[in-house]
A and B are shown apart, each in its own frame.
Chain A
Amino acid sequence: MRRSARRAETLTGIALVLPALFWVGLLVAYPFGMAIYYSLSNTVISQGGSFVGFANFQALLGDGTFRQALQNSIVFTTVAVAVKTVLGVALALILYRRLRVKRLIRGLVLLPFVIPTALSTLGWLWMYDSLYSVITWTLNRVFLLPVGLGPIEVNWLGSPVLAMTAVIVVNIWRGLPFFAITVLAGLTAIPTEFYEAAEVDGAGRWGRFWHVTYPLLKPVLAVVILFSTIFTFADFNIVYVLTRGGPQEATHLFATLSHALAFESMQLGRGAAVSLFMFPVLVVVVALQLRYLHRDETRYA
């Protein structure tokens, strides 16, 4: 290539990414810097504040509410991602079979992913109602009363363990389609000859799953799990709509606690410090993702 042509290419290349760089730099990189600054200050909303070093982080580590949120975040993320993985693979295996009206079923399965989470969670809030819950009604009328038990009253969002379970169930409902459809794509990419070969070798259903499906699915699963981990960990909508972090902070996640500290207690600095605790998790996930990406590149290069 001539030198002037190369220079022209460099200039065009840079010019084309400039708008994106500008927008993202201004509204992601700069706010990120601001978040770090706020977390090191005692800023109160609409009053300003001054630099206090790591005081916010120190105070948080000794704070019962924060520790509770840390524990909640870990429980919420681990359980939700684990269940989504298992159910997602199971559903994908079912969808992979020769089904009638395949397109319709696939379309229906994806619905929770398409509907705005804040709105569908309202539906769950109604299903968890302390008085008119359809779940309680079904438990009583279908299972308990016919055998002479009950009726029971369940306040789904009123006790710590039930509320956490309720929140996790909604997250699973919302995230399952993404898992199932992505894993399904991974399944479809496995050449059928591999299964035929395994069958010739005498492998049964489980054998085929463990020796063919699982190893070939691993890269897809890894990417999906990493993605889901970060967005489950950073979830806000479901908890905000269902419980606002209650009862007694039993369902507060980092995102909802940070929101509550900033806008209910007006402690912007403290809130920013809480949200920055999500950063280490982000770094680990990004590092793992980049490693996978890199491996893919070298494989196909």
Chain B
Amino acid sequence: MAVRRGGAVRHFVVDHVGLVPFLLFILFPIYFMLLTAFKTDRELYDLQAIPFWIRDGVSLGHFRHLFFKTNFWRWLANSLVVSFATMAVSVAISILAAYSLARLSFPGARTFGIGVFITYLVPPTLLFLPLTQLVTWLGLIDSLWALVLTYPTFLIPFCTWFLLGYFKVVPREIEECALVDGCSRLGVLFRIVLPVAVPGIVCAMLFAFTLAWNEFLYALTFTNASVTKTVTVGVAAEMIRGDVFHWGGIMAGAVTGALPVVIMYVCFLDYYVVGLTAGSVKG
């Protein structure tokens, strides 16, 4: 008995010890960002202070600066509007396209399917220059419309591809029964397939929102005025000015700017894992 117990303990230790360096590497930067946001400037720039915890007490000064002296709320609102709008449009369009590709046969369906997959692999860094010209030509520089228009270029291929895999595994039989009973194709999609596919759709929505919220390059190039920036660009480009870095304020901005997606992530953790393991997420 004692021997077996010792073996179990050793197993437990061996299984968990390997995890420690990984968790340290993954979590330390996040912990350190949080810590920095809550430290006083005096402690931050004191080389004698031990950087791993807070010595002088928690300070909210950096957050006060962020909330009242910068356009942070505006950036946050912009990110919310753009992410929500592009997520809704992209998922709606993708549901139609994915259902069509999964169930209906029409000439060119296969080519279109491959086209969606290829577009999904095209990185934004390949297209941002001509898109800048296009956005300028449309008079949309410094308008959130520029982002609402361009984000679906990567969200639609992603969501279509993701939902296609999901719709394919919905059993055909229930649909065929409804069709025989005189239900139309769209009727089948809305009354039968969508209710069954709710988890997949929620997953597509979560990923679309996160991808839109995290987007940086398009937002950086299509907006110049502070009031039209999204939170990623606002914090990363606006709060770093000249040679003076206010690290406390920058970290407060980075932490608060990431908070909405982190909260969403905590609430829907299992959906994220399922979505990732569907094997088709940009990493």
Residues of chain A touching chain B, judged by Cβ–Cβ distance below 8 Å, are: 8-14, 16-17, 19-21, 23-24, 27-28, 30-32, 34-35, 38, 87, 90-91, 94-95, 97-100, 103, 105-124, 126-127, 129, 132, 134, 137, 173, 175-179, 181-182, 184-185, 220, 223-224, 227-228, 230-231, 233-237, 240-241, 254-255, 258-259, 262-263, 268, 271-272, 275-276, 278-279, 282, 285-286, 289-290, 293
Q: Which residue of B lies closest to A43 (CB)?
A: B133
Known: A16-B96, A99-B19, A108-B23. A278 touches B126 (CB 8 A): yes
The answer on a CB contact under 8 Å between A293 and B117 is yes
Q: Does B122 reach chain A (CB closer than 8 Å)? A: yes
Top-7 shortest CB links A-B: A178-B283, A234-B123, A13-B104, A185-B277, A13-B106, A16-B100, A34-B130
Point out the residues of chain A lying under 8 angstroms from B121, CB to CB. Answer: 230, 282, 285-286, 289
The binding surface of chain A is classed by DSSP as helix
Point out the residues of chain B lying under 8 angstroms from A262, CB to CB. Answer: 129, 132
Q: Which residue of B lies closest to A9 (CB)?
A: B104
Point out the residues of chain A lying under 8 angstroms from B19, CB to CB. Answer: 94-95, 99, 105
Point out the residues of chain B lying under 8 angstroms from A175, CB to CB. Answer: 283
The answer on a CB contact under 8 Å between A99 and B29 is no
Of the A-B pairs whose beta carbons lie under 8 Å apart in the complex, a sample of 23, sorted by A's number, is: A8-B185, A16-B100, A20-B94, A21-B112, A23-B93, A27-B131, A94-B22, A111-B26, A116-B216, A116-B257, A123-B29, A129-B245, A132-B47, A173-B29, A176-B26, A182-B277, A224-B279, A231-B283, A258-B125, A275-B125, A275-B129, A285-B121, A286-B121
Q: Does B157 reach chain A (CB closer than 8 Å)? A: yes
Among candidates A12, A38, A126, A223, residue contacting B130 with C-beta atoms closer than 8 Å: A38
The answer on a CB contact under 8 Å between B214 and A27 is no
Q: Which residue of A lies closest to B220 (CB)?
A: A240
Q: Does B228 reach chain A (CB closer than 8 Å)? A: no
The answer on a CB contact under 8 Å between A35 and B283 is no
Query: How many residues of B are counted as interface, with CB atoms below 8 angstroms from the partner's CB atoms?
Result: 97
Point out the residues of chain A lying under 8 angstroms from B203, CB to CB. Answer: none
Q: A31-B131, A38-B133 are in contact. List 9 more A-B contacts (CB 8 A).
A: A10-B104, A16-B96, A27-B131, A109-B26, A126-B251, A132-B44, A175-B283, A262-B132, A289-B117
Per-position 1/0 for B15-51, Cβ under 8 A of A: 1101100110111011011001000000011010001
Q: Does B262 reach chain A (CB closer than 8 Å)? A: yes
A228: shortest Cβ distance to chain B, in Å?
A: 6
Q: Which of B190-230 contact A (CB under 8 A)?
A: 210, 213-214, 216-217, 220-221
Q: Which residue of A lies closest to B96 (CB)?
A: A16
Q: Which of B106-134 contact A (CB under 8 A)?
A: 106-109, 112, 114-119, 121-134
Q: Which residue of A lies closest to B113 (CB)?
A: A17
The answer on a CB contact under 8 Å between B157 and A118 is no
Q: Does B235 reach chain A (CB closer than 8 Å)? A: yes
The answer on a CB contact under 8 Å between A117 and B216 is yes
Q: Which residue of B lies closest to A170 (CB)?
A: B29
A295: shortest Cβ distance to chain B, in Å?
A: 14
The answer on a CB contact under 8 Å between A182 and B123 is no
Point out the residues of chain A lying under 8 angstroms from B45, CB to CB. Answer: 132
Interface centre among B12, B126, B245 (most CB of A within 10 A): B126
Q: How far apart sit A32 and B122, CA to CA, in the bound complex (Å)? A: 10
B246: shortest Cβ distance to chain A, in Å?
A: 11
Residues of chain B touching chain A, judged by Cβ–Cβ distance below 8 Å, are: 12, 15-16, 18-19, 22-23, 25-27, 29-30, 32-33, 36, 44-45, 47, 51-52, 93-94, 96-97, 99-101, 104-109, 112, 114-119, 121-134, 149-150, 152-153, 156-157, 160, 185-186, 210, 213-214, 216-217, 220-221, 231-233, 235-236, 240, 245, 247, 250-251, 253-254, 257-258, 261-262, 265-266, 269, 272-273, 276-277, 279, 281-283
The answer on a CB contact under 8 Å between B126 and A120 is no
Known: A17-B112, A282-B121. A10 touches B107 (CB 8 A): yes
Q: How far apart sit A123 and B19, CA to CA, in the bound complex (Å)? A: 23
Among candidates B25, B109, B281, residue contacting A173 with C-beta atoms closer than 8 Å: B25
B278: shortest Cβ distance to chain A, in Å?
A: 9
Q: Which residue of A lies closest to B274 (CB)?
A: A185
The answer on a CB contact under 8 Å between A24 and B156 is yes
B100: shortest Cβ distance to chain A, in Å?
A: 4
B206: shortest Cβ distance to chain A, in Å?
A: 10
Q: How far apart sit A106 and B233, CA to CA, in the bound complex (Å)? A: 29
The answer on a CB contact under 8 Å between B16 and A10 is no
A210: shortest Cβ distance to chain B, in Å?
A: 19
The answer on a CB contact under 8 Å between A17 and B101 is yes
The answer on a CB contact under 8 Å between A120 and B30 is yes
Known: A9-B104, A9-B185, A20-B156. A122 touches B251 (CB 8 A): yes
Q: How far apart sit A11 and B184, CA to CA, in the bound complex (Å)? A: 13
The answer on a CB contact under 8 Å between B100 and A13 is yes
Known: A111-B27, A119-B232. A12 touches B15 (CB 8 A): no
Q: How far apart sit A286 and B157, CA to CA, in the bound complex (Å)? A: 14
